[in-house]
């Protein structure tokens, strides 16, 4: 399986996801600003991967600070954290990872600055390792919901590429296959950035997992024909009531799934829960460049001067969600209670 991100010798190395599937190129980030740029431009994307990259970026930022004492060090670190926190607004894993790194620095304020830098590096590596184990645990829980012989539809890329490894939604599929089940995947291409066509299709094909690519507007057709048994998607942020922010188009898939009595599962680590928000209405939705909508393969596909909108995420209301699969277990409705219980479980 491809390594999405690694932290080696003061360099954060990531596979450039804007160049897949045509080229397998790696990008080396040497500063926190390089990491921020990689997040903004989608060289690295997917909520958990963004969190891991941010933690590693903060470690790079810490290493670059030349400060005689903790207060000076922490003030500079906070400024770098605040700037990195602006890179993408919807995935809460970014703020979660930054806050976790800042807390480590504060909790160890009695150490020398060089020891705090070491501690921050260890923490970034732990966040990376924990993400992989969380995905494997999520996979083990989630695969119990999928039976052999089923076809699972997914939207966007919630795979190894969107995480430190193994994936969330695709982790559930990988775990089902490891458990000996015969599973087929239907992948929505996911306009306009094509994470399904470029990344999910590539990632699954690399492992010979049976996958059929469809355009987003075909999924209702296949559901109506009875050719979809379950939907599994990832999430960028889940509010306290179970409303789910995920890639634009997810809401449409969930409505269609309900219409056809198909279970709609969301797989996400506990770091994607934002229980401070009562509902999805409070989740900030990223607006991306309209260029991504009006161009395809660098070729303009719409008239000049046309008005264009590009919300990059939508909110799926909790009543359309059958269950939320986390590394700590499966939450079922009513989510206000079940998610709180999982968040409090250690
Ligand atoms: O804009 P992206 O590619 O970062 O959006 C990614 C998604 O919407 C994923 O489904 C989500 O982050 C979950 S990834 C495990």
Packing angle of the helix pair 113-142, 92-107 (nearest 10 deg): 140
In the chain, DSSP finds a helix count (H) and a strand count (E) of: 12, 16
pLDDT of residue 325: 98
Ligand 1 pocket, 168 CB below 6 A? yes
Tell me how long the chain is: 346
Three-state DSSP at 49 gives helix
94 and 178 in one domain?
Answer: no
Q: Which of 136, 159, 183 is the last residue of a domain?
A: 136
Residues 38-61, mean pLDDT to the nearest whole number: 98
- Distance in angstroms (rounded) separating the CA atoms of residues 160 and 170: 7
Ligand 1 mutation target, pool 17, 38, 43, 46, most atoms within 8 A of CB: 46
- Distance in angstroms (rounded) separating the CA atoms of residues 198 and 196: 6
* CB-based contacts of 194, cutoff 8 Å, min separation 6: none
236 as an active site residue: the answer is yes
- Distance in angstroms (rounded) separating the CA atoms of residues 135 and 168: 6
117 and 200 in one domain?
Answer: no
Q: How far is the CA of 108 from the centre of ligand 1 (A)?
A: 33
Picking from 143, 131, 213, 216, the residue whose alpha carbon sits closest to that of residue 183 is 143
Ligand 1 pocket, 269 CB below 6 A? no
pLDDT of residue 129: 98
Ligand 1 pocket, 232 CB below 6 A? no
Residue 25, pLDDT above cutoff 80: yes
- Distance in angstroms (rounded) separating the CA atoms of residues 187 and 204: 10
Three-state DSSP at 67 gives coil
Contact 125, 131 (CB under 8 A): no
Q: Percentage of residues in the chain with pLDDT exceeding 90? A: 98
Nearest residue (CA) to ligand 1, atom 8: 247
Residues 63-77, mean pLDDT to the nearest whole number: 98
- Given CA atoms 16, 19, 24, 25 in this order, what sign does their dihedral have? negative
- Which pLDDT tens digit goes with each residue over 292-338? 999 998 999 999 999 999 999 999 999 999 999 999 999 999 999 99
Q: How far is the CA of 234 from the centre of ligand 1 (A)?
A: 7
Residue 1, pLDDT above cutoff 80: no
Ligand 1: nearest atom to the Cα of 195: 3
DSSP string over 79-119: HHHHHHHTS-SS-HHHHHHHHHHHHHHHHTTTS-HHHHHHH
111 and 13 in one domain?
Answer: yes
Q: How many domains are there within the chain?
A: 2
Rounded to 5°, angle at Cα 163 from 322 and 55: 120
Contact 272, 93 (CB under 8 A): yes
Residues 31-52, mean pLDDT to the nearest whole number: 98
Q: Which of 109, 136, 163 is the last residue of a domain?
A: 136
Catalytic residue selected from 229, 236, 243, 314: 236
Residue 250 corresponds to which tokens in the numbers above? 């997810």
- Which pLDDT tens digit goes with each residue over 251-290? 999 999 999 999 999 999 999 999 999 999 999 999 999 9
175 and 110 in one domain?
Answer: no
The CATH number of residue 156's host domain is 3.40.50.10470
Ligand 1 mutation target, pool 47, 53, 197, 288, most atoms within 8 A of CB: 47
Q: Which of 136, 163, 181 is the last residue of a domain?
A: 136
174 and 158 in one domain?
Answer: yes
Ligand 1 pocket, 87 CB below 6 A? no
263 and 165 in one domain?
Answer: yes
The CATH number of residue 88's host domain is 1.20.120.420
Residue 86, pLDDT above cutoff 80: yes
Residue 49 corresponds to which tokens in the numbers above? 């991967």
Strand partners of residue 273: 238
Ligand 1: nearest atom to the Cα of 91: 12
Contact 247, 292 (CB under 8 A): no
Residue 187, pLDDT above cutoff 90: yes
340 and 219 in one domain?
Answer: yes
Give the domain extent around 157.
Answer: 137-344
Ligand 1 pocket, 195 CB below 6 A? yes
41 and 166 in one domain?
Answer: no
262 and 198 in one domain?
Answer: yes
Contact 343, 270 (CB under 8 A): yes
Ordered alpha helix ranges (H), 143-261? 169-178, 195, 201-206, 219-224, 250-259
- Distance in angstroms (rounded) separating the CA atoms of residues 42 and 78: 24
Q: How far is the CA of 32 from the centre of ligand 1 (A)?
A: 21
Q: How far is the CA of 158 from the centre of ligand 1 (A)?
A: 6
Predicted model pTM: 0.97
339 and 215 in one domain?
Answer: yes
129 and 173 in one domain?
Answer: no
142 and 130 in one domain?
Answer: no
Ligand 1 pocket, 201 CB below 6 A? no
Residue 192 corresponds to which tokens in the numbers above? 């306009």
């Amino acid at each position: 399986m491809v390594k999405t991100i690694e932290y080696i010798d003061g360099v954060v190395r990531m596979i450039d996801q804007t160049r897949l599937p045509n080229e397998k190129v790696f990008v080396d980030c040497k500063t926190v600003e390089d990491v921020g740029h990689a997040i903004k431009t989608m060289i690295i994307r997917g909520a958990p991967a963004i969190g891991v990259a941010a933690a590693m970026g903060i470690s790079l930022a810490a290493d670059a600070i030349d400060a005689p004492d903790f207060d000076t060090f922490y003030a500079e670190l906070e400024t770098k954290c605040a700037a990195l926190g602006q890179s993408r607004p919807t995935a809460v894993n970014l703020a979660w990872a930054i806050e976790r790194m800042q807390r480590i620095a504060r909790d160890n304020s009695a150490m020398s600055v060089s020891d705090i830098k070491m501690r921050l590096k260890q923490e970034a590596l732990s966040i990376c390792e924990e993400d992989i184990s969380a995905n494997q645990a999520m996979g083990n829980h989630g695969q119990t919901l999928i039976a052999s012989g089923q076809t699972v539809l997914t939207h966007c890329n919630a795979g190894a590429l969107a995480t430190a490894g193994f994936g969330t939604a695709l982790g559930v599929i990988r775990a089902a296959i490891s458990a000996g089940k015969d599973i087929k995947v239907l992948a929505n291409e996911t306009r306009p950035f094509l994470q399904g066509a470029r990344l999910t299709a590539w990632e699954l094909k690399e492992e010979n997992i049976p996958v059929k690519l469809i355009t987003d507007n075909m999924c209702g057709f296949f559901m109506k024909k009875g050719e979809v048994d379950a939907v599994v998607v990832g999430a960028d942020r889940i509010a306290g009531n179970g409303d789910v922010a995920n890639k634009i188009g997810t809401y449409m898939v969930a409505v269609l799934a309900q219409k056809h009595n198909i279970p709609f599962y969301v797989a996400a680590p506990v770091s994607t829960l934002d229980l401070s928000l009562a509902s999805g209405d409070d989740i900030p939705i990223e607006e991306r460049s309209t260029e991504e909508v009006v161009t395809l393969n660098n070729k303009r596909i719409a008239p000049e001067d046309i008005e264009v909108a590009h919300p990059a995420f939508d909110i799926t209301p909790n009543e359309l969600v059958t269950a939320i699969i986390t590394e700590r277990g499966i939450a079922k409705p009513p989510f206000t209670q079940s998610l709180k219980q999982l968040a409090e479980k250690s």
